[in-house]
Structure 1
Amino acid sequence: MENIYKILLLIGTLLCIFLFAINIYLGATGAIVLAAFALSVFIMEDSRVLPELTVRLGDDAKKIVVENAGNAPAYRIHVALVPFDIEFDIPQLAADAQYEYPFTRMIGEAKAVVAFDDTKGGHVSRTFSLSALGKGDDDLLRPMFPLFKWK
């Protein structure tokens, strides 16, 4: 955590103690605001260096596009295309970069299994449904968790 956030949390804690001395309700309000600030700082620090890989078919269905929409590079990326028995590796993909893997023919539907390492050394594996005609996993309106029978 950066020093500026530590200093701000320390000042907020001292301010809460001072507010508790004046009035218990002011102190409780300050403690709630301080807790919300601390949680947002911890969440921000946790998500600072995370790659976010997405895989989709190109517009002509003759290529796979691997894109890193995160804010950190991804390392040792391995992509397997099921059921076509196509596998390829990408050594590194920087943040906001993309890599295109061309095919000799069009692909209608497939499943892409992607495994990569992040900057912290963690190994991540994800699966993407690819379709030239239907919706793939890159639907921007899809909620983060299933709502109202969304599948």
Structure 2
Amino acid sequence: MEKIHKILLVAGALICVLLIWINIYLGATGVIILAALAMSVFIMEDARVLPELTVRLGDNAKKVVVENSGNAPAYRIHVALVPLDIEFDLPELAADARHEYPLTRMVDTAKAVVTFEDKNSVETSRTFTLSALGKGDNDPLRPMFPLFRWK
């Protein structure tokens, strides 16, 4: 955690102690606000160095597009297209970068299995459904869990 965040959390804790001496309800309100701020800081620190790779077909279905929409580079990327028996490797993909892999023919449907590492050498594997006609897995409005009959 950065030094400035530690200083702000300690200052907030001291302010909460002072508010408890003034009025217990005011102090409890300060503790709740401080807890929400601390959780926000911890979540922000945790998400600071995460690559987020997505794989999709190009508009003409003759290329595979690998995009890193995260905020850290991804290393040692391996993409396997099933059942096309096509595999390719990328040494690195920077944050907000993309790589296009050309295909010899158009692809109707396939599955892409991606394995990559972050800067701490933590390996992650994800699977994407690639479709030229239907909706793929890269819908930005899709909720993380099924919600209101989302399919």
Q: TM-score range by the shorter chain?
A: over 0.9
2:59 matched to which residue of 1?
59
Q: Deviations over 1:14-33 (max 9, x none)?
A: 00000111111011000000
CA displacement at 1:120 relative to structure 2? 2.0
Matches of 1:140 and 1:15, distance apart in 2: 41
2:92 matched to which residue of 1?
92
Matches of 1:42 and 1:4, distance apart in 2: 13
Matches of 2:140 and 2:86, distance apart in 1: 27
- For structure 2, the 5+ residue unaligned runs are none
Q: Deviations over 1:54-101 (max 9, x none)?
A: 000000000000000000000000000000110110000000000111
CA displacement at 1:46 relative to structure 2? 0.2
- SS of the residue 1:90 aligns to: strand
Matches of 2:4 and 2:48, distance apart in 1: 16
CA displacement at 1:51 relative to structure 2? 0.3
Q: Does 1:38 align with 2:66?
A: no
Correspondence list, 1:114-129, <5 A: 114-129=114-129
1:81 matched to which residue of 2?
81
Q: Which amino acid aligns with 1:136?
A: G
Q: Does 1:131 align with 2:131?
A: yes
Q: Deviations over 1:108-127 (max 9, x none)?
A: 00000000001122110000
- For structure 1, the 5+ residue unaligned runs are none
Matches of 2:140 and 2:87, distance apart in 1: 27
- SS of the residue 1:38 aligns to: helix
- SS of the residue 2:64 aligns to: strand
2:20 matched to which residue of 1?
20
- SS of the residue 1:88 aligns to: strand
CA displacement at 1:149 relative to structure 2? 2.8
Kindly report the root-mean-square deviation, in angstroms, between the aligned alpha carbons of the 2 structures. Answer: 0.7
Matches of 1:146 and 1:121, distance apart in 2: 31
CA displacement at 1:148 relative to structure 2? 2.3
